[in-house]
Amino acid sequence: MRLEEGVGMGGSIPAKISRRQLFLKLLRVIYRQRYLQVMALLGVAWMIIFNYVPMYGIIIAFKNFDIIKPVSEAPWVGLEHFKAFLEDDNLGYVIKNTLGISILKLFIGFPLPIAFAILLNEVRSAFFKKTIQTISYLPHFLSWVILGGILATWLADVGIVNKLLMSVNLIEEPITYLAEPQFFWSIVITSDIWKELGWSAIIYLAAISSISPELYEAATIDGAGRFQKIWNITLPSIKGTVTILFILSVSGLLNSNFDQILVLRNSLNESASNVIDIYVYQMGIQLSRFSYATAVGLIKSVIALFLLLGANYFTKKLNGTSLF
């Protein structure tokens, strides 16, 4: 193709051609693909406005920003807001809740879809397998608001959970679960698993279905039982997929599912439900402490970036698989 000759500015171009001629040639190529360039640059413009302008906006974390004046007029205050966060009384439980919920989600919510995918793959009837898949994906498509509504109904003092527990004499008095901080983490983890178990399993099912059937046939001839096949063929074959998703989960450790917690939290369970994202929302949007909230958000983004790089490095050393 002629276009590619123009772009390829490698060694094939004779040394005689000057920089100026090269530049003109480049311009000609760009002009020839002007439609393509406009299509690409519209996307670039969108990214600059909606991704890069907010990144630039982070500078207000180092200023005392006042909503009625432009950012450039706000006075610089250095690291004052970061210090304020470190000295804040809320720091302890915000960190505890963020990490607590995320780590529990990682240790319980991460392996369960793998186990589910493997067990589902062992189901013999193709029809039944397909039906379970269809049903198990469904909750992923419900919104957290709807699920929050269901939970509020179920966990109310006259709700089905209390009725059930009281009928088997496990509790004597009804409990308002969403008003008690001690139950909050369990509610968050359980409802998250309910919603995402089937959906998270898709990617593992895809990985399992791409394993060559010959491997299993050979193992059967060698007399391997089903558990041996799972252990020696299925698990090693999906190791790469598991690793990639693990890296992504670790980098998301500080993202404690804002949508979900915003629906389930209330002033009574505050001490167990206030996570970094919620704290940023409260400070920034509700109390208009823009600079302070931006500083807290920045701390989070930077730690998340390091977690990603760290997990990537760690798994690369450990089993040679990495995201980049």
Partner 1 sequence: MLKMSRLTTRESVFDIVNFVFMLFICFITLYPIWYVLVNSLNDGTDAMRGGIYWFPRIFSMDSYKAVFANGGIMLAMWVTVAKTVVGTLVHVFFTAMVAYSFSRHDLVGRKFYMLLGTVTLFFSGGLIPYFLLIRDLNLLDSFWVYILPAAFSFFDLIIFLTFFRELPAGLEEAAKIDGANDFKIFYSIVIPVSMPVVATIMLFHGVYQWNDYFTGMIFINNMDLQPIQTYLYRVVAQSSSSQMAAAMPANIQKSVTSQSIKLATMVVTTAPIVIAYPFLQKYFVKGFMIGSIKG
Interface residue with partner 1 among 110, 137, 185, 246 (CB under 8 A) is 137
Using CB under 8 A as the binding rule, whether residue 42 contacts partner 1 is answered as yes
- What distance lies between CA 282 and its chain's CA centroid? 21
Own/partner pairs, 225-234, CB within 8 angstroms, 24+ separation? 226/122, 230/118, 230/122, 234/118, 234/121, 234/208
Over the Cα atoms of the chain, what is R_g?
27
Chain CA centroid to CA 158, Å: 35
Q: Which stretch binds partner 1 (CB under 8 A): 74-82, 93-101, 142-150, 232-240?
A: 142-150
8 A C-beta contact, residue 247 and residue 257? no
Gap between the Cα atoms of 250 and 305, Å rounded: 10
Judged by CB under 8 A, the stretch of 52-60, 78-86, 90-98, 169-177 that binds partner 1 is 52-60
Binding of partner 1 by 30 (CB under 8 A)? yes
Crossing angle of helices 181-209 and 91-104, rounded to 10°: 40
What residues from 104 to 123 belong to the interface with partner 1 (CB under 8 A)?
116, 119-120, 122-123
Q: How many C-alpha atoms does 126 have within 13 Å on its Cβ side? A: 1
Stretch that binds partner 1, among 11-19, 73-81, 103-111, 155-163 (CB under 8 A): 155-163
Residues numbered 290-319 forming contacts with partner 1, rule: CB under 8 A: 290, 293-294, 297-298, 300-301, 305, 308
Q: Which of 244, 246, 252, 321 binds partner 1 (CB under 8 A)?
A: 244
Give the shortest CB-249-to-partner 1 separation in angstroms.
13
Using CB under 8 A as the binding rule, whether residue 163 contacts partner 1 is answered as: yes
**Contact code string over 255-294 relative to partner 1, x by CB under 8 A:** ---xx--xxxxx----------x--xx--xx----x--xx
